[in-house]
Structure 1
Amino acid sequence: MAIEKKRSFNLLRRFALLSFLSIGLITAVSSFLLSNFLTHNMLQRDAVVTMEFVQTIAQAENTRSYFETDDPGKTKTVFEAFFKQIATMPEVVRANVYNSNGSILWSDDDRFIGHRFSPNPQLETALSGKLAVTSGTSGKSSKPEHVFDQEVPFFAEIYIPIWNIRENKVVGVVEVYKVPLTLFHAIKQGNRLVWLSAGLGGLFLYASLFWIVRRAAQVIRRQQEQLVESETMAAIGEMASAVAHGIRNPLASIRSSAEVALEESPPFRATAEEIIHETDRIEDWIRELLVYSKPPSGNPASIQINGLIQSTLDSLDREIKKRNVKLTQKLDPASPLVHADEGLMRHVLISLIANSLDAMPDGGELTVSSRIEKSDSRVEVVIKDTGCGIPIEQMDKIFKPFYTTKSKGMGVGLSLAKRIIERHGGILRLESEAAVGTTVFMHIPLAR
């Protein structure tokens, strides 16, 4: 039975999705609640002002006795002069007067006089002595009395209790329909501001948290890579020590025997030379493996990078001429000093230049340059060749240990060079194009 490959936990992707949904939901809910709160309070405040005005008139005119009659005709006559003042108030489109039983005693629309509309929770609230207010549109009527002669975009429905102060009871209710366009415009603007500020705040919070988690994910990934690298190096070190101990002595015996055969058996000269060459190659592999398995520590100091480059090129001069490679040097005349270990940096330069020479077996051009990057307080060293280059599909693997494109390599040179440069606080990167060439960029901190 096939075993499914376990998916790795992607912290950034999970956080991006879940935090976006959570912050979006919180933003929407809080905006909705704040909008409702703003709308309710602004309508309530307008209703309180209207109530105080109506109740003041009612007390001044002593209209409480009018609510105790059951004769609609008499009510119409008595209320006409008084409540017409309310019906003609600015923004008022209708006024109804209810008695304590919930029947309409007077209305500016004669069709409603004597009728009783139920259920009407706002009217019941007002009859209990509390101000009641609601809002709506004439196009979406929720009550039978919400019928107007003309279409209105918004209206506020206010139920105002009328008290008999002597007996301390509610004797009736005045219902006022208002179209406060200015108020509704202010409410609309306020709601828009609430949603906009909440949305921008949510986006800012999401972006801030995303940046923090992204940085945390990068740190975790680097720590995981360092942990894997440390475990790998420990395993490689043990393996390299075992290999070196077990193979070097037999290799030395094989090489000695081949050297004897080379001197005493001329017919086997070619075979003996091949044996010596191959044993030397195995010895080089073992030495390279031992060097790679040890952590690159060294003793950093101020060294002149141009001098180090020049001496390294001088030591490889014979190999450069042997391969018919043209050497071009473009070194910074300021002779910058870098903070690095000379032995380790020499190893890096030799490894990278050797790779460039291997990529040009039939000749080519090798360019080595250096320049100061003042903005970053670093020195950039560039090694460029016109060799075979690296295919684009292999570029993401070139710094992995034991991956190589050469038939006679172990694949630890670039990986070790990258480790050394990064341990010095620098950066090593590579650009390449198949059949065009490869360019290696080293950015090394300047000495202070």
Structure 2
Amino acid sequence: QINLNLKETNLELEQRRNYMEIILKNVAAGVISLDSEGKITIINKSVGKILGLEVESVLNKNYRDILPPEYLQKVEDLLQEVDRNSSLTFEKEIELPLPSGTIDLHTHITPLKDENGKYLGLVIVIEDVTELQKAQRIAAWREVARRIAHEIKNPLTPIQLSAQRLRRRYKDKFSKDGQIFNECTNTIITQVEILKNMVNEFYNFARMPATKPLPNDLNQIINETLPLYREAHKNITFHFEHPEKMPALLLDKNQIKRALINILDNAVSAIKDNGKVTIKTFYDEKLNLSGVEIADNGCGILPEEKARLFEPYFSTKKSGMGLGLTIVNSIISDHHGYIRVKDNYPKGTIFRIELPVRSS
């Protein structure tokens, strides 16, 4: 009877363990358990996906032995904060630099203790909130842009009109200082026009229209966009590759065209002399994914700039407000897609847009 009860207990424990493993395997958050010595006793696949590591290679190893010095110090500082904290759980958002770029992590740490209060280890739950943080920052910047545009736009037109009126009325009456008068009024008119263009960029960013997706052919949208560039930039070769069969995608045609124009403008500005821009569409039936890659052989983008490329008002160019790629990112996000940037070898940049294939 004792052996039978023991077998039933072991079977029940095994079933519970399997059940827990299934849960950990399928939960989106990363879960790590450390024992009192710092050895990793549990780590699920989501941790590997978030941090870009092989979970099997770190299981049952002490975290101090596997973390590089720059990461180890961050973890040690975080665990010291947990020790100082008297509450049952500890939460903090941290920035973690990875080879693929900096990510924002929401950490939830719970010390484990037995019924006598003896310390047994920690359970750490991590969530990648990078996209959420980006969305919140963009929403905040949109509000700032809306207010700035509203405050600046009103006085610009009367300033410009007044300068134009002065110029028309008095340019022939200043025989001695006519050239200076002409230069000064011309400067006012030109600079006001630049300010008005900036304000329009603010407005475009702050008041993005709602997406209205309809079944559309991505290849056709690209074919409608390219002739303008081939005509305007004779020194650049625009090469378009596409598969024979591409499914119709639910797209807001005008917004996708706007996104393509912004990326093509960046590609053109990165090419100094004769260059090449390759546009390649793709369809992955297994992943139910379609999209486009736009590659140039221009000057490329520095690694430290890639992480901030889609942030509002960050620009690698001397001119412009740094809103073009932020608008692109918003458009693609509204289409439930992703945009990524990577190096084009031997030189240049590739922008990859991935869009879901949806029936409705």
TM-score bucket (shorter structure)? 0.5 to 0.7
Identical aligned pairs, as a percentage? 20
Partner of 1:157: none
Supply the distance in 2 between the matched residues of 1:335 and 1:269 (Cα, whole angstroms).
58
Superposition deviation, residue 198 in structure 1: 5.2
Superposition deviation, residue 439 in structure 1: 0.6
Superposition deviation, residue 301 in structure 1: 1.3
Given residue 202 of structure 2, which amino acid in structure 1 is its aligned partner? L
Given residue 423 of structure 1, which amino acid in structure 2 is its aligned partner? D
| 1:418 matches 2:329 | yes
The one of 254, 257, 263 aligned to 1:352: 263
Supply the distance in 2 between the matched residues of 1:329 and 1:401 (Cα, whole angstroms).
30
Partner of 2:302: 391
Supply the distance in 1 between the matched residues of 2:167 and 2:337 (Cα, whole angstroms).
45
Superposition deviation, residue 231 in structure 1: 3.2
Given residue 225 of structure 2, which amino acid in structure 1 is its aligned partner? T
Secondary structure at 1:400 match in 2: coil
Partner of 1:309: 222
| 1:291 matches 2:208 | no
Deviations 1:1-54 (A, max 9, x none): xxxxxxxxxxxxxxxxxxxxxxxxxxxxxxxxxxxxx9xx67xxxxxxxxxxxx
Given residue 261 of structure 2, which amino acid in structure 1 is its aligned partner? I
Superposition deviation, residue 446 in structure 1: 3.9
TM-score, L = length of structure 2: 0.59
Partner of 1:235: 144
Superposition deviation, residue 377 in structure 1: 3.3
Partner of 2:248: 337
1:46-445 to 2 correspondence within 5 Å?
201=16, 205=20, 208=23, 212=27, 214=29, 218=127, 223=132, 225-251=134-160, 253-254=162-163, 278-321=191-234, 324-334=235-245, 336-432=247-343, 436-445=347-356
Supply the distance in 2 between the matched residues of 1:368 and 1:409 (Cα, whole angstroms).
24
Secondary structure at 1:229 match in 2: helix
For these two proteins, the number of residue pairs brought into alignment is 261
Deviations 1:204-227 (A, max 9, x none): 637735864717964866555544
More helix by share: 1
Superposition deviation, residue 444 in structure 1: 2.6
Given residue 359 of structure 1, which amino acid in structure 2 is its aligned partner? A
Partner of 2:39: none
Superposition deviation, residue 417 in structure 1: 0.3
Superposition deviation, residue 282 in structure 1: 3.0
Partner of 2:99: none
Supply the distance in 2 between the matched residues of 1:416 and 1:223 (Cα, whole angstroms).
16
Secondary structure at 2:268 match in 1: helix
Supply the distance in 1 between the matched residues of 2:220 and 2:168 (Cα, whole angstroms).
39
Name stretches of at least 5 consecutive residues in structure 2 with no aligned partner: 31-124
Kindly indicate whether the alpha-carbon contact (under 8 Å) linking 2:230 and 2:236 is maintained by their aligned counterparts in 1: no
Supply the distance in 2 between the matched residues of 1:414 and 1:245 (Cα, whole angstroms).
27
Kindly indicate whether the alpha-carbon contact (under 8 Å) linking 2:138 and 2:312 is maintained by their aligned counterparts in 1: no
Pair 266,382 (structure 1): closer, same or farther in 2 beyond 3 Å: farther
More strand by share: 2
Superposition deviation, residue 327 in structure 1: 1.5
Deviations 1:160-190 (A, max 9, x none): xxxxxxxxxxxxxxxxxxxxxxxxxx9xxx7
Superposition deviation, residue 307 in structure 1: 2.2
- Cα RMSD of the aligned pairs, angstroms, is 4.1
1:11-22 to 2 correspondence within 5 Å?
none
Superposition deviation, residue 312 in structure 1: 1.4
Pair 212,306 (structure 1): closer, same or farther in 2 beyond 3 Å: closer
Pair 271,320 (structure 1): closer, same or farther in 2 beyond 3 Å: farther
Supply the distance in 2 between the matched residues of 1:259 and 1:358 (Cα, whole angstroms).
37
Secondary structure at 1:387 match in 2: coil
Pair 213,374 (structure 1): closer, same or farther in 2 beyond 3 Å: closer
Name stretches of at least 5 consecutive residues in structure 1 with no aligned partner: 1-37, 43-185
Superposition deviation, residue 359 in structure 1: 0.5
Pair 291,428 (structure 1): closer, same or farther in 2 beyond 3 Å: same
Superposition deviation, residue 434 in structure 1: 9.1
Partner of 1:70: none
Supply the distance in 2 between the matched residues of 1:221 and 1:255 (Cα, whole angstroms).
48
Supply the distance in 1 between the matched residues of 2:352 and 2:309 (Cα, whole angstroms).
14
Deviations 1:357-410 (A, max 9, x none): 010122311111223332233332111100000011221111111111100021
**Which structure has the bigger radius of gyration?**
1
Pair 256,209 (structure 1): closer, same or farther in 2 beyond 3 Å: farther
